[in-house]
A and B are shown apart, each in its own frame.
Chain A
Amino acid sequence: MPDRRADIGAAAFVLLLGLIGFWQAIAIPTSPIYAQVGPKAVPFAVATGLTLLGGLLMLVALRGGWSRDIEDLNDAPVNRRAIALMMASLLANLVLIVPFGFTIAATAQFVLVAAAFGSRAHGRNLLIAFLVSLGAYTLFVKLLGVNIGAGLIEGLIFGSPV
Chain B
Amino acid sequence: MDAISGLALGFGNALTLANLGWALLGCFLGTAIGVLPGIGPALTIALLLPITFTVSATGAFILFCGILYGAMYGGSTTSILLNTPGEGGSIMTALEGAKMARSGRAGPALATAAIGSFVAGTIGTLGIAFLGPVVVELALKLGPAEYFALMVLCFITVSAVLGGSVLRGLTSLAFGLTLGLIGIDLQTGQPRLTFGLPELFDGVSVVLVAVALFAVGETLHLAWRYAEGKSEILPVGRISMSRAEWRRSLGPWFRGSALGFPFGVMPAGGSEMPTMLSYYTERKLASPEAQAEFGTRGAIEGVAGPEAANNAAAAGTLVPMLTLGLPTSATAAIMLSAFQSYGIQPGPLLFTAQAELIWTLIASLFIANVMLVILNLPLVGLWARILKIPQPQLYAGILVFATIGTYGISNSVVDLMLLYGIGIIAMFMRRFDFPVAPVVIGMILGPMAEQAMRQALTISQGDWTTFVTRPISAAILALAVLALAGPRLYAAWLRRAA
The interface of chain A, by Cβ under 8 A from chain B, is 6-7, 10, 13-14, 17, 21, 24-25, 28-29, 31, 33, 35-39, 42-43, 46-47, 49-50, 53-54, 56-57, 60, 66-67, 70, 72-73, 75-79, 82-83, 85-86, 89-90, 93-94, 97-98, 102, 105-106, 109-111, 113-119, 125, 128-129, 132-133, 136, 140, 144-149
Q: Flag the segment in B182-190, B304-312, B351-359, B481-489 that touches A.
A: B182-190
Are B226 and A128 in contact, CB atoms less than 8 angstroms apart? no
The interface residues of chain B lying within 8 Å CB-to-CB of A129 are 396, 400
Are A82 and B408 in contact, CB atoms less than 8 angstroms apart? no
The interface residues of chain A lying within 8 Å CB-to-CB of B192 are 24-25, 28, 39, 43
The interface residues of chain B lying within 8 Å CB-to-CB of A37 are 453-454, 457, 462
CA distance A79 to B450 in the complex (A): 43
Please report the number of residue pairs spanning A and B whose Cβ atoms sit closer than 8 angstroms: 197
Are A110 and B397 in contact, CB atoms less than 8 angstroms apart? yes
- 28 residue pairs A–B, Cβ–Cβ below 8 Å: A17-B178, A21-B178, A24-B192, A31-B188, A33-B187, A33-B188, A35-B454, A37-B457, A37-B462, A39-B187, A46-B174, A49-B177, A50-B174, A56-B167, A67-B432, A79-B223, A85-B223, A89-B399, A94-B413, A102-B407, A113-B399, A117-B391, A133-B400, A136-B401, A140-B50, A145-B54, A146-B53, A149-B407
Which 8 A-B residue pairs are closest in the complex by CB-CB distance?
A119-B392, A117-B392, A113-B396, A114-B392, A39-B185, A36-B462, A82-B223, A148-B408
Partner of B395, one of A35, A72, A117, A133: A117
Known: A82-B224, A110-B400, A129-B396. A90 touches B51 (CB 8 A): no
CB distance from B302 to the nearest CB of A (A): 22
Q: How many B residues, CB 8 Å from partner?
A: 66
Interface string of B319-353 (1 = CB under 8 A from A): 00000000000000000000000000000000000
Are A79 and B433 in contact, CB atoms less than 8 angstroms apart? no
The interface residues of chain B lying within 8 Å CB-to-CB of A114 are 392-393, 395-396
Interface string of B387-413 (1 = CB under 8 A from A): 000111101110111011001110101
The interface residues of chain A lying within 8 Å CB-to-CB of B296 are none
The interface of chain B, by Cβ under 8 A from chain A, is 50-51, 53-54, 165, 167-168, 170-171, 174-175, 177-178, 181, 185, 187-188, 190-195, 216, 219-220, 222-228, 390-393, 395-397, 399-401, 403-404, 407-409, 411, 413, 416-417, 420, 423, 428, 431-433, 446, 450, 453-454, 457-458, 461-462
Closest to A116 in B: B223
CB distance from A127 to the nearest CB of B (A): 11
Partner of B227, one of A29, A76, A147: A76
Are A10 and B428 in contact, CB atoms less than 8 angstroms apart? yes
CA distance A129 to B392 in the complex (A): 12
The interface residues of chain B lying within 8 Å CB-to-CB of A93 are 403, 416
CA distance A66 to B63 in the complex (A): 41
Are B396 and A109 in contact, CB atoms less than 8 angstroms apart? yes
Interface centre among B170, B222, B392, B446 (most CB of A within 10 A): B392
Closest to B182 in A: A24
Are B224 and A21 in contact, CB atoms less than 8 angstroms apart? no
CA distance A94 to B194 in the complex (A): 22
Are A38 and B403 in contact, CB atoms less than 8 angstroms apart? no
Closest to B173 in A: A49
The interface residues of chain A lying within 8 Å CB-to-CB of B446 are 46
Are A50 and B416 in contact, CB atoms less than 8 angstroms apart? no
CA distance A74 to B266 in the complex (A): 36
Are B226 and A116 in contact, CB atoms less than 8 angstroms apart? yes
Are B224 and A83 in contact, CB atoms less than 8 angstroms apart? yes
CB distance from A2 to the nearest CB of B (A): 13
CA distance A53 to B413 in the complex (A): 32
CA distance A140 to B168 in the complex (A): 38
The interface residues of chain A lying within 8 Å CB-to-CB of B393 are 110, 114, 119, 125, 128
Partner of B188, one of A35, A66, A77: A35
Known: A37-B454, A102-B407. A97 touches B413 (CB 8 A): yes
Closest to B406 in A: A148
CB distance from B448 to the nearest CB of A (A): 12
Closest to B447 in A: A42
Interface centre among A13, A128, A140 (most CB of B within 10 A): A140
Partner of B181, one of A10, A42, A72, A128: A42
CB distance from A66 to the nearest CB of B (A): 7
Are A28 and B404 in contact, CB atoms less than 8 angstroms apart? no
Are A132 and B190 in contact, CB atoms less than 8 angstroms apart? no
Are A24 and B411 in contact, CB atoms less than 8 angstroms apart? no
The interface residues of chain B lying within 8 Å CB-to-CB of A109 are 396, 399-400, 403
CA distance A60 to B165 in the complex (A): 12
Interface centre among B190, B401, B413 (most CB of A within 10 A): B190
Closest to B397 in A: A132
Are B223 and A148 in contact, CB atoms less than 8 angstroms apart? no
Are B223 and A70 in contact, CB atoms less than 8 angstroms apart? no
Are A144 and B54 in contact, CB atoms less than 8 angstroms apart? yes
CB distance from A141 to the nearest CB of B (A): 9
Closest to A139 in B: B404
CB distance from A50 to the nearest CB of B (A): 4
CB distance from B446 to the nearest CB of A (A): 8
Interface centre among B171, B190, B462 (most CB of A within 10 A): B171
